[in-house]
Amino acid sequence: MAHVGEVLVAYRERLLALRKDPRLEYVLIFKNHGVAAGASLEHPHSQLIATPILPELVAEELEGAVRYFRMKERCVWCDIVRQERRDGARLVLEEEGFVAVAPYASRFPYELCILPTVHRASFESLHADEVDALARLLREVIGRLARLFGDPPYNFALHTAPLRETDPEHFHWHLELMPKLTRLAGFELGTGFFINPTPPEDAARFLRQAERSPERAPA
Bridge pairing between strands 91-94 and 112-116: unpaired
pTM, two decimal places: 0.90
Task: Specify whether 45 is catalytic.
Answer: yes
Q: Domain segments of the chain: what residues?
A: 2-209
- The rounded distance, in Å, linking the Cα atoms of 109 and 218 is 9
Given the residues 33, 45, 119, 159, the one annotated as active site:
45
> Using CA atoms, how far apart are residues 155 and 146, in angstroms rounded to an integer?
14
Of the options 3.30.450.40, 1.25.40.10, 3.40.710.10, 3.30.428.10, the CATH number for the domain spanning 2-209 = 3.30.428.10
User: Per residue of the chain (219 residues), what is the pLDDT tens digit?
Assistant: 568 999 999 999 999 999 999 999 999 999 999 877 777 766 778 999 999 999 999 999 999 999 999 999 999 999 999 999 999 999 999 999 999 999 999 999 999 999 999 999 999 999 988 999 999 999 999 999 999 999 899 999 999 999 998 779 999 999 999 999 988 888 787 888 888 899 999 999 999 999 754 444 444
- Contact predicate 114/100, CB 8 Å: yes
